[in-house]
Amino acid sequence: MARWVAGLDGCRGAWAGALLDLDDPERHRCALFADVASLLDAPEQPLIVGIDMPIGLPDRILGGGRGADRAARARLGPARSSVFPMPPRTAVYAPDYDSAKAASRAASEPPFAPSIQGYNIFRSVRAVDTLLRARPELLSRVHEVHPEVAFHALNGGRPLGLPKKGVRAREGLALRRTLLDAAGLPAALLDARVKGVPADDHLDALAALVVARDILDGCAVPLPDSPERDAYGLPVVIWAPAVRDCR
């Protein structure tokens, strides 16, 4: 019997993916996938996939973001800026940035507009949203995660204090790799980054895989505790792994 789980992180117009067979950890692979369906329909048929992409788009946003965004930002504390608050559905489907800002302000209280960094992922958000609405049976397999929320939990619920980009990126990436190793991922999988995938995207995909494993094991934590659903029935929740005691 094989129990495959997987993690996905957006990477330069594609997806950095990592797969692991929980019943035989020597069986694993990393690859660059053209789209989310390519991983879901891969020969491994992963039971659970953690994906670093918003799922669930409310028609109206209250309090500065989705409930999941607010819960994740509260969990991260000082590092909360890494969680982009998602605007309402109309903004995500707007034809251009100016239209997205106007649509967001019109359907949020207090009014806010997405940053350009947030807007730049809307194409991927729409792709995932379209896939899940077209194939609702996938909702039991695909779950939203946030890598920094995952690493925060793997660090014992404490801030990492080191970024994954910039002048201290090497230290930050080394810390994240250490946390994934302590979480039980095989060393060979940690070293399996494929050509074309930056180191930070590879580690983020592995963090998403850890969350997927914890979801399958029943010990992952939903943020917030009582998730809502959008008008299409898609859950609005960010999943975090169980907090590890790494003292």
Residue 162 confidence (pLDDT): 84
Range name among 39-43, 106-110, 161-165, 232-236 with the lowest pLDDT average = 161-165
Residue 245 confidence (pLDDT): 63
Q: Which amino acid is at 120?
A: N
Give the Cα separation of 72 and 238 in Å (integer): 7
Pair type for strands 48-52 and 61-62? unpaired
**Mean of the pLDDT values across residues 209-226?**
97
Q: Residue 79: is its pLDDT beyond 70?
A: no
Q: What is the average pLDDT value for the chain, to the nearest integer?
A: 94
Q: Residue 247: is its pLDDT beyond 90?
A: no
Q: For the packed helices 199-217 and 147-154, what is the interaxial angle rounded to 10 degrees?
A: 70
Where are the chain's structural domains?
1-247
Which tens digits make up the pLDDT trace of 37-58?
999 999 999 999 999 999 999 9
Residue 80 confidence (pLDDT): 61
Residue 90 confidence (pLDDT): 98
